[in-house]
């Protein structure tokens, strides 16, 4: 696992484009924005479901820890990471 993280860091450090000096956002910024988008989508997926087939019966699964706590934390964290990815200057 440690070797995988090291290889990932090396690949991220080697990302560059010939127009990076002229552009306000570099290739690294776009990679970070993609990672933030994945976290936001994961949070939305975790928030799905919990409804009942019959409208006359109440389903308590709608208020599970995953939907009430984990998913909103992931979504807000993903948006915060998106802001970081936009503001980070490489």
| Domain annotation covers residue 6 | no
Residues 7-23 pLDDT 10s: 988 988 888 777 767 78
| Domain annotation covers residue 73 | yes
Confidence of residue 49 (pLDDT cuts 50, 70, 90): confident
d(CA 79, CA 86): 11
Which of 76, 65, 67 is CA-nearest to residue 40?
76
| Domain annotation covers residue 10 | no
Q: In terms of residue numbers, what domain contains 66?
A: 24-87
| Domain annotation covers residue 19 | no
Token representation of residue 35: 């990672």
| Domain annotation covers residue 5 | no
The domain tally of the chain equals 1
| Domain annotation covers residue 8 | no
Residues 62-74 pLDDT 10s: 888 999 999 999 9
Token representation of residue 66: 């995953």
| Domain annotation covers residue 9 | no
Q: What secondary structure does DSSP assign to 35-77, as a single string?
A: HHHHHHHHHHHHH-----SSTTS--GGGG-HIIIIIHHHHHHH
| Domain annotation covers residue 4 | no
pLDDT of residue 39: 98
Residues 43-67 have a mean pLDDT of 85
d(CA 90, CA 88): 6
């Amino acid at each position: 696992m440690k070797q995988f993280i090291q290889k990932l860091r090396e690949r991220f450090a080697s990302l560059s484009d010939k127009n990076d000096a002229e552009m306000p956002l570099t290739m690294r910024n776009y990679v970070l924005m993609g990672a933030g988008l994945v976290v936001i989508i994961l949070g939305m997926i975790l928030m799905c479901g919990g409804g009942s087939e019959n409208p006359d019966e109440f389903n308590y699964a709608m208020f599970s820890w995953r939907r009430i706590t984990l998913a909103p934390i992931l979504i807000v964290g993903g948006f915060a990471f998106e802001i970081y990815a936009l503001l980070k200057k490489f």
